[in-house]
């Protein structure tokens, strides 16, 4: 395997003989004693023997492959590993207590997964953890593992309440195909499962003066237009979406309304017209900062002087979360040979602050985060003038 594997805040390398002291130190925390007692090394000598064995395993087929996780400042904080089981390979990891709570395990496992799977020629990999190890379960879920079994089972030589997970990288889908395939169930997913009615009400409330001509980017089935058409029945809407079936649903939902629907990518198409409002909900979180900046410039140019742009979308609350999503999307593109810029269904949520920076850089005079939920934000940007 090509090493080191470089992630955002850490890297994964090979063990060497000098690491016995930090291996011992990292092994002594409470979680290790409770969940993986056979990986606790009370003395440096014990740790040294373990490190020598791990180094020897690197040259062996079908032997555990264990790699230290090291922060960019050189601190050794834990390890990731793959070890053979009866029907395949299992992944494992440990981040020492002083370093937990920072997302390092998720970052290390997500960087390690594609590389070790490629190295071992695997299409799936498993993970096992104690059912009470909530932190470990969260890491697996965040890394895309799904729960395959929960119940009694063998765990480090004892019968315990365990969880078995499995991971199979899903095939990336082209954006239009993704939404065409889900158009039928889309509204019930958004309103029934995700309970986003309040979000769409907040979108309607952003438009406090009549809108004559609205441009809706990634309009889908038009959930965001329901409240707006009630408020402004004579509004003309230009909707742009790559999914023809989502657009069919939209057209069927609003008989008699003034609609111009364009089945194309808003990154490519000329908006042709002058709008007093531009809206985009839950559509822009699939694109890079570079693509967004170009799009925000286009939106700015398409707006009349007093026009507003309303952004309502999936966002993350930290820069680390943003970087993780970006790294994961790059890795997926790489794994599946999809070039940057090709329109595939991949999530790259940014922080609301990054969105503000891009919207301002596109020339908007005023920007405001008007609502923020745990994983979504609502931003209003005004081309010129001031907020009332
Ligand atoms: C999650 S849906 C949101 C639909 C609607 N705005 C809503 O809030 O329910 C995302 C929509 O954006 C569309 N979309 C994604 N990328 C696009 C692009 N580059 N150009 C046009 N539409 C796009 C998808 O086809 C899909 O209909």
Domain segments of the chain as ranges: 5-167, 175-382
pLDDT band at 252 (very low <50, low <70, confident <90, very high): very high
Q: Cα separations (Å) of 80 from 23, 57, 87, 96, 327?
A: 13, 14, 20, 12, 18
Residue 369 has pLDDT above 50, yes or no: yes
Q: How far apart are CA 238 and CA 230, in angstroms?
A: 17
Residue 174: both structure tokens together? 């082209």
- What the block records as the tokens of 20 is 């016995």
Please state the rounded mean pLDDT for residues 5-24: 91
Rounded CA-CA distance 265/18 in Å is 54
pTM metric for this prediction? 0.66
What is the whole-number distance in angstroms between the Cα of residue 28 and the centre of ligand 1? 49
Q: Going by C-beta distance under 8 Å and a sequence separation of 6 or more, which residues neighbour residue 328?
A: 110
Evaluate if residue 370 carries a pLDDT over 80.
Answer: yes
* Banded model confidence at residue 95, pLDDT cuts 50, 70, 90: very high
Residues with CB under 6 A from ligand 1: 175, 179, 190, 218-220, 223-224, 240-243, 246, 265-267, 281-283, 286, 343
Spacing, Cα 284 to ligand 1 middle (Å): 8
Q: How confident is the model over 256-294, as pLDDT tens digits?
A: 999 999 999 999 999 987 999 999 999 999 999 999 999
H or E segment and range at residue 326? helix 319-335
Quickly list DSSP for 275-319.
Answer: EEEEEEES-GGGS-HHHHHHHHHHHHHHEEEEEEEEEEEE--SSH
CATH number of 5-167: 3.40.630.30
User: Residue 385: which pLDDT band, with cuts at 50, 70 and 90?
Assistant: low
Domain 175-382 sits in CATH at 3.40.50.150
Mean pLDDT on 209-218: 96
d(CA 242, CA 287): 14
DSSP helix/strand/coil, 261: strand
Tell me what pLDDT residue 388 has: 47
The protein residue whose alpha carbon is closest to atom 10 in ligand 1 is 283
Q: Is it the case that residue 312 has pLDDT exceeding 80?
A: yes
């Amino acid at each position: 395997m090509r090493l080191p594997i470089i992630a955002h805040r850490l890297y994964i390398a090979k063990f060497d003989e000098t690491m016995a002291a930090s291996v011992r130190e990292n092994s002594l925390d409470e979680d290790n004693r409770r969940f993986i007692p056979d990986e606790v090394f009370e003395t440096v000598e014990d740790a040294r023997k373990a490190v020598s064995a791990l180094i020897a395993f690197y040259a062996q087929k079908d032997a555990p492959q264990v790699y230290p996780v090291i922060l960019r400042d050189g601190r050794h904080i834990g390890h990731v590993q793959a070890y053979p089981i009866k029907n395949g390979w299992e992944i494992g990891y440990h981040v020492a207590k002083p370093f937990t709570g920072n997302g390092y395990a998720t970052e290390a496992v997500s960087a390690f997964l594609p590389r070790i799977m490629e190295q071992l020629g695997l299409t799936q990999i498993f993970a096992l953890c104690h059912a009470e190890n909530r932190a470990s379960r969260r890491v697996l879920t965040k890394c895309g593992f799904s729960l395959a079994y929960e119940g009694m089972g063998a765990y480090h030589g004892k019968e315990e309440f365990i969880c078995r997970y499995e991971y199979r990288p899903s095939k990336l889908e082209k954006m239009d195909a993704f939404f065409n395939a889900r158009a039928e169930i889309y509204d019930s997913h958004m309103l029934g499962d995700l309970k986003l009615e309040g979000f769409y009400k907040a979108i309607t409330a952003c438009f406090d003066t009549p809108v004559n001509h609205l441009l809706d980017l990634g309009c889908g089935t038009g959930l965001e237009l329901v409240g707006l058409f009630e408020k402004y029945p004579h509004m003309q809407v230009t909707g742009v979406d790559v999914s023809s079936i989502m657009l069919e649903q939209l057209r069927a939902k609003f008989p008699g309304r003034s609609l111009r629907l364009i089945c194309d990518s808003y990154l490519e198409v000329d908006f042709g017209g002058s709008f007093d409002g531009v809206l985009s909900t839950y559509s822009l979180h699939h694109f890079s900062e570079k693509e967004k900046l170009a799009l925000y410039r286009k939106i700015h140019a398409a707006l009349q002087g007093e026009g507003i742009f309303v952004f309502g979308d999936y966002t993350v609350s930290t820069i680390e979360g943003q970087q993780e999503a970006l790294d994961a999307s790059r890795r997926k593109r790489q794994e599946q040979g999809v070039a940057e810029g090709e329109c595939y269904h991949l999530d790259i949520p940014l922080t609301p602050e990054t969105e503000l920076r891009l919207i301002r850089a596109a020339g908007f005079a005023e920007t405001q985060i008007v609502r923020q939920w745990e994983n979504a934000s609502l931003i209003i940007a005004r081309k010129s003038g001031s907020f009332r």
